[in-house]
């Protein structure tokens, strides 16, 4: 009797285990299918439908064997265990990718920047309430300065009287010369001060610092097979959505039907009208970034007479770390040189680069014949090599590591659904993209006035109008599928 009861107990335990496996499988399959159809995963060549039919077949097959075939129950349990594991892996991978996409999308909706009131490091003034008047370049940064002053009024119950000056650099020079007791600083403009005064931070103390945010415009969704992506590269520490000068300005003109990509580099020193905060006054292109990514986008749209549908913003210092996750990249170096950044010697010809070597390669300009324009071409080469590696099957082997490596150093306003549509389109049609590169050229000058630094002599590139027109024509040809 005891033996019979034990056998009956084991039979019921197996039955419960079988039911548990089946219920788990059904729940995981439903979750997976919701993910697949919600996020358009495998939405090409009816693969999503085929996956659905496979999952339904396994469920039907398992139910049939459990209730109508005693001999196949063990095999069915093994089958369900395998599919439950596969479902979990698929769900986790999709979830991880969606979270990654949401994170880099979310950070693209706003830009952040810090405003401060500063005095000399040895000043007896230690509180903002001790100040009567503060010097600030209202004409070039009015919106941010007035927003900051209002913040002080609300939070500190202090009304600040502003004294005008032409630029943040002039404000700092005035403070150092003892002509003013306090100045307003915008963190985004501090890199400009640092170019002439590398030790400026040691000579001041900040009495009050406030981080502010502003919204960034959303994408201009493309309706056809072609679109433009603006790639903005910054080389700074801190959060990726902090306002900063844009050292790399690349436009990818893509046609998914003809499989053509045009990579256009606009040198950071290009002398162009700066949109939005720059009030359409001429300055070097990199200064557009200090007014926010919207200013850089609008400046380039005006220059090339195009729409920039999406943007990708990269922190080059941390973004290039993903090269190590990809096992390095290969680029063709036109001329041998030694970089100042890391003392690395780069031989002419095909070279293999790790992350640190790639950073030195894209930063160097002083050892190059054509200076900043050669640096722009090297940046093109590295970005192209990364894109090729990311779109290869090799990248799948370290998918998780790649996402973790770049999630804090990249942001984009391209919606996740648009990304998936592009992936599905590429997987469905196959074929490699033909990639062409072109860069804007001109003549370097030291006598052109800068809007952000009106009293400084800066190297800027006066644009070659014929080259500009040829780039416009090349972009138009790609967009029109020619």
Q: Output phi, psi for 331, to 5 deg.
A: -135, 160
Q: Is residue 60 classed as helix, strand or coil in its secondary structure?
A: helix
Tell the CATH topology of 226-479. Answer: Aminopeptidase (3.40.630)
Residue 217, C-beta contacts closer than 8 angstroms, at least 6 positions apart = 294, 297
Taking only the tens place, the pLDDT of each residue in 305-314 is 999 999 988 8
Rg (CA), the chain: 29
Helix (H, G, I), strand (E, B) or coil at 232: strand
Q: What token pair was written down for 227? A: 């679109």
pLDDT band at 394 (very low <50, low <70, confident <90, very high): low
pLDDT at 259 (0 to 100):
86
Q: How far is CA 404 from the centre of its chain?
A: 14
Percent of the chain with pLDDT over 90: 37
> Residues with Cβ < 8 Å from 254, sequence gap 6 or more?
226, 227, 228, 229, 260, 261, 433, 478
Q: Is the pLDDT of residue 320 over 90?
A: no
pTM value is 0.81
Indicate the helix (H) or strand (E) that contains 50. helix 47-68
Q: Where are the domains of the chain?
A: 2-106, 111-215, 226-479
Phi/psi for 21 (5° steps) reads -60, -45
Q: What pLDDT score does 9 carry?
A: 45
Q: What would the two tokens of residue 288 be?
A: 């557009």
DSSP letter for each residue of 400-465? HHHHHHHTTSEEE-S-HHHHHHHHHHHHHH--PPEEEEEE--EEEES-SPPSSSTTS---EEEE-H
Q: pLDDT per residue over 201-216, tens digit each?
A: 999 999 999 998 888 8
Would you state the CATH architecture of domain 111-215? 3-Layer(aba) Sandwich (3.40)
């Amino acid at each position: 009797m005891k033996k019979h009861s034990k056998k009956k107990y084991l039979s019921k335990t197996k039955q419960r285990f079988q039911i548990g496996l089946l219920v788990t499988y059904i729940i995981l399959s439903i979750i997976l299918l919701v993910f697949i159809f919600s996020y358009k995963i495998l939405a090409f060549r009816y693969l999503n439908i085929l996956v659905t039919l496979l999952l339904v077949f396994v469920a039907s097959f398992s139910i049939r064997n459990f209730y109508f075939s005693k001999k196949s129950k063990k095999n069915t349990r093994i089958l369900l265990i395998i599919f439950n594991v596969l479902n979990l892996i698929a769900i986790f991978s999709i979830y991880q990718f969606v979270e990654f996409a949401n994170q880099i999308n979310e950070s693209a909706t706003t830009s952040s920047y810090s405003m401060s009131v500063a005095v000399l490091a040895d000043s007896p003034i230690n509180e903002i309430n001790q100040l009567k008047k503060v010097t600030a370049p209202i004409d070039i940064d009015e919106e941010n300065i007035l927003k900051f002053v209002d913040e002080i009024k609300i939070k500190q119950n202090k009304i600040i009287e502003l004294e005008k000056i032409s630029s943040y650099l002039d404000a700092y020079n005035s403070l150092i010369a003892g002509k003013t007791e306090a100045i307003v600083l915008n963190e985004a403009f501090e890199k400009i001060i640092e170019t002439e005064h590398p030790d400026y931070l040691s000579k001041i103390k900040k009495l009050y610092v406030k981080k502010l945010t502003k919204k960034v415009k959303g994408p201009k969704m493309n309706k056809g097979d072609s679109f433009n992506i603006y790639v903005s590269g910054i080389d700074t520490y801190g959060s990726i959505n902090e306002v900063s000068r844009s050292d790399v300005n690349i436009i990818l003109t893509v046609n998914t039907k003809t499989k053509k990509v045009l990579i256009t580099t606009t040198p950071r020193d290009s002398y162009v009208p700066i949109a939005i905060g720059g009030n359409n006054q001429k300055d070097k292109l990199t200064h557009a970034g200090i007014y926010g990514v919207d200013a850089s986008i609008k400046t380039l749209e005006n220059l090339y007479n195009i729409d920039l549908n999406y943007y990708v913003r990269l922190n080059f210092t941390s973004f290039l770390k993903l090269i190590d996750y990809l096992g390095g990249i290969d680029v063709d170096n036109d001329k041998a040189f030694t970089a100042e950044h890391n003392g690395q010697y780069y031989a002419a010809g095909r070279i293999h680069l790790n992350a640190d070597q790639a950073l030195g390669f894209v930063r160097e300009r002083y050892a190059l014949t054509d200076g900043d324009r050669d640096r722009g071409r090297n940046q093109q080469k590295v970005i192209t090599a990364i894109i090729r590696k990311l779109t290869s099957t090799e990248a799948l082997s370290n998918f998780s590591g790649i996402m973790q490596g770049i999630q804090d150093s990249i942001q984009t306003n391209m919606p996740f659904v648009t990304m998936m549509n592009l992936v599905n389109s590429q997987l469905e049609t196959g074929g490699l993209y033909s990639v062409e590169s072109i860069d804007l050229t001109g003549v370097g000058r030291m006598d052109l006035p800068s809007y952000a630094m009106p009293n400084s002599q800066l190297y800027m590139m006066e644009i070659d109008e014929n080259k500009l027109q040829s780039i416009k024509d090349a972009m138009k040809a790609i967009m029109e599928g020619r």
